[in-house]
Structure 1
Amino acid sequence: MISRDQRTPFSEWWWTVDRVLLVALIALMLAGVILSLAASPPVATRIGLDPFHFFNRHVLFLAPSLIVLIGVSFLSPRQIRRSALIVFVLAIGLIVATLLFGPEVKGARRWITLLGINIQASEIAKPSFVILAAWLFSEAARRPEMPATSMAMMLLLSLVSLLVMEPDFGQTMLVLMVWGALFFIAGMRIVWVFGLAGAAAGGLFTAYLFVPHVAGRIKRFMNPASGDTFQVDMASEAFSNGGWLGLGPGEGIAKRSLPDSHTDFVYAVAAEEFGIVLCLALLALFAFIVLRTLSRAYRSEDLFSRFAASGLAVLFGIQAAINMAVNLQLIPAKGMTLPFISYGGSSMVSLAYGVGMMLALTRQRPKTEVNAIEAAGSYA
């Protein structure tokens, strides 16, 4: 047992971190291991790799992700702000390098290879962007004379501009929604939130008019007969085949044909093999993580911690919701991973960084420490 009287960094972390939230996150990671084993072998076999290639890499990326998650959860809010600034600058640099040197795949440049590892820099940018935006909004609330809101707008435009240049409209919409949620949480006027939503809708309409693959996805969603809807049709069939309890582990049919069964459509594989019951359990687990974080954030007296933890929870929840909605044909297809369930090294490590900061920001801190955090906020 770890005694409360011990004054070590680990004991202080153990008694202040939200252990229930930590267990929920680890449970989600374990579910990802099981579903990777179920969904990835047929994909690897089809492209001539070892059947367990993607599963082995999924487990391999899980180790550094756990280290990042636990390590980041030890940080103080001030350390989180500083690390986020460094990570965001590095991510922006990698996005620029991707635009200049990354390979073009299906008309987009989203990946760059460093030291033999494929990196999607936009995934790394998201959690650090949330932290910086939350910091600026907290400064705007604390010191109205500071042009922090304008700076937050410039931060948004800088990231969105680079994402549109890739182009990656799925990540762009996700970033806009999270920034809008933070804008609202920070107490800004609702008319500005609606204005942001209108601007986002205008941007989407512009993309529909001038970007062929965006127009194609929307047209196929509105009228399936207008193009190739093989993947989403197979995903829907998987839900029908699985029923409530599923066909059983390894008995799925859709994964034998779905090119992205281990990434974008792993939720459909879960439905077919383990049933809608498991899908509802996963949905409940995601909802619990988001609501638990929002509840803890609401009780925080430090504005930055409250905004940042809430923004990270919204980012986590919206990303999961988008992936599940695509699988259920509720929205047009997007290349969005299901957090900790889908295969993807960049996604998993960046998600671990984000939820590690969620754990750090929702730790129980004495009021004197909170006051010290607020006092230091202007200098971080």
Structure 2
Amino acid sequence: MNQLLNKTKGDKVIWTLVVLLALMSLLVVYSSTGSLAYKMYRGNTEVYLFKQVAFISIGIMMIYFAHMVNYTLYSRIAQIVFLLTIPLLIYTLFFGVKLNEGSRWIRLPIINLTFQTSDLAKLALFMYISRMLSKKQDVIKDFKKGFLPVIIPVGITCVLIAPANLSTALLVGATSMMLLFIGRVSMKHLLLTGLIALVPIIFLILTAVIQHNSGNGIKSKTEGKSRLTARFTTWVNRVEAFVYGGKEQEDDDNNYQVNQAKIAIAKGGFFGLGPGNSEQRNFLPHPYSDFIYAIIIEEYGILGGAIVILVYLVFLYRSIQLFRKCPYAFGAFLALALSFTLVIQAMANMAVNVNLFPVTGVTLPLVSMGGSSFLFTCIAIGIILSVSRYVEKNELLKMEEAVEKTEE
């Protein structure tokens, strides 16, 4: 055990934050799934707890092995992995497992497990554009030589993810734009891209407004409709529920989720009801994934919710420190890109829970119940720690050189 700990390198603060989030995940997942497990497994309330323990154990192992790999290897495989995700996303879009009116998953043969290809695509994309940004710094201001090679992969990925998972596509796009800005891409090129991206978003909002004013709300029933039409219906309903809300939409699934989350938050108060004492877990849909933050506030209060936010902000701060210290551009961009996407996803999830953002399907990284998203999050953290391990080693060498010069 001591030998394993001695081999564990990287930012100790990030390691501590990972452990804290994992412990929070165990507590809240166990609490939020108790009633569901009792119904599904004839009184055995520990089933999901053991599953989460297994996911966390596998996830920690993934973090450890990913952080032991020299981060430069990720630059070498970035292009291959990215090119492999394109056919996977296309396959998922047309032939993927259909859940909640969207094709986000593909089923792996033999082991019969499903995973979201968008999780792999995000990881591959950020590795690839980090590589491209590091190689194109000399011509990054040039539209053809610098901008197009980094924006085209972003556009392709977002377009392929959007039909099944618009919220993830928007988060990937926003994270990519921030990374390109930090990577010294021309501001006029970024503004042009932003204006183009706003067109479908404005169209979606206008459709929701027109639908509401005409009194012909699009219901969630989608029998006989194509997958894309069904998803568009869902998007419009969510935007309409967010913009208008109100009692007239009490039966709407999206509005019901938000209302139950509000009740959970109101019951929590400042200090919460205590661990395991959630009442809204019996009424709130997906209290173990999409709306787990509402359960955290109900049980641990606003104080507990604020601590969770602080953990993610400290994680981002430590990653920014890595960006500043890393001597090579690829490692700096990679650490920043992966930390941005994790923290932005966390903030989006929490914003949905407190009704600051329309209902989405994004989970709370490292806290929501395990799945493919949880495991890919662990891989991303392992890569960040790989960069951190190199930075730590580089600083140690500098200190040894300084000591040797002083002795001479």
Structures share fold, TM-score greater than 0.5: yes
Q: 1:324 to 1:168 in 2, by over 3 A?
A: same
Equivalenced residue count is: 362
Q: Which moved more, 1:218-227 or 1:128-137?
A: 218-227
1:224 equivalent in alignment to 2:217: no
1:283 equivalent in alignment to 2:309: yes
Compute the displacement of 1:274 (Å).
1.6
Q: Is the 8 A contact 2:346 2:363 kept in 1?
A: yes
Q: Distance in 1 between matches of 2:396 and 2:322?
A: 18
1:343 equivalent in alignment to 2:369: yes
| Structure 1 counterpart of 2:174 | 177
Q: Which moved more, 1:310-319 or 1:218-227?
A: 218-227
Alignment of 1:157-176 (within 5 A): 157-165=155-163, 167-176=164-173
1:181-224: per-residue Cα shift (whole Å, max 9, x none)? 11101012223333332222212223444822111111100111
1:212 equivalent in alignment to 2:233: yes
| Structure 2 counterpart of 1:123 | 119
Compute the displacement of 1:231 (Å).
0.9
Compute the displacement of 1:90 (Å).
4.1
Q: Which moved more, 1:191-200 or 1:316-325?
A: 191-200
Q: Distance in 2 between matches of 1:93 and 1:339?
A: 26
Alignment of 1:1-40 (within 5 A): 14=8, 17-40=10-33
| Structure 2 counterpart of 1:5 | none
Q: Which moved more, 1:274-283 or 1:78-87?
A: 78-87
Q: Distance in 1 between matches of 2:261 and 2:62?
A: 33
| Structure 2 counterpart of 1:376 | none
What TM-score do the two structures reach when normalised by structure 1? 0.88
- Paired amino acid for 1:36: V
CA RMSD of aligned residues (A): 2.6
1:128-169: per-residue Cα shift (whole Å, max 9, x none)? 21111111011110466893532222211221121123x210
- Paired amino acid for 1:117: L
Q: Is the 8 A contact 1:297 1:362 kept in 2?
A: no
Q: Distance in 1 between matches of 2:59 and 2:290?
A: 20
Q: Distance in 1 between matches of 2:397 and 2:201?
A: 44
Q: Distance in 1 between matches of 2:23 and 2:195?
A: 40
Q: Distance in 2 between matches of 1:46 and 1:259?
A: 15
- Paired amino acid for 2:194: A
Secondary structure of 1:110's counterpart equals: strand
| % identical aligned pairs | 24
| Structure 1 counterpart of 2:152 | 154
Q: Distance in 1 between matches of 2:283 and 2:172?
A: 32
Stretches of structure 2 lacking an aligned partner (at least 5 in a row): 208-228, 399-408
1:304 equivalent in alignment to 2:297: no
Q: Distance in 2 between matches of 1:54 and 1:202?
A: 42
Stretches of structure 1 lacking an aligned partner (at least 5 in a row): 3-7, 371-380
| Structure 2 counterpart of 1:292 | 318
Q: 1:199 to 1:369 in 2, by over 3 A?
A: farther
1:350-373: per-residue Cα shift (whole Å, max 9, x none)? 001111111111232438999xxx
Spell out structure 1 runs of 4+ moving beyond 6 A. Answer: 367-370
Q: Distance in 1 between matches of 2:158 and 2:51?
A: 30
1:27-65: per-residue Cα shift (whole Å, max 9, x none)? 211211111111122233455675333332222221221
